[in-house]
Amino acid sequence: MRGASRTRGLWVEVDPGFHVGNDRRQFLGSITGTPREGFRAFGAQSDFIGQFDDLDAAKAAVAAASVIAEEIAQGEPQLH
């Protein structure tokens, strides 16, 4: 079942406040932080994506950045 709130990939909190994601094919990125301090999202190459108040928003941003990076690598047009 897919819903608007479901993010791409499998996300695991490997240490308190440190989350990593993958989608079976590739490493998506990581997220550090807590609800109190906010969440910093990083892409697969440790590139800073942004600061978010919500963990799910940070996960969605990492997943979206990975889709864009994949399209660029494959030479597909970006229609975002």
pLDDT bin (cut points 50, 70, 90) of residue 7 is low
Ramachandran angles phi, psi of 23, nearest 5°: -125, 35
Which of 69, 43, 37, 28 shows the shortest CA–CA distance to 55? 37
pLDDT for residue 79: 58
Query: Domain coordinates of the chain in residue numbers?
Result: 10-74
- Residues 15-33 pLDDT 10s: 999 999 999 888 999 999 9
How far is C-alpha 36 from the chain's CA centre? 19
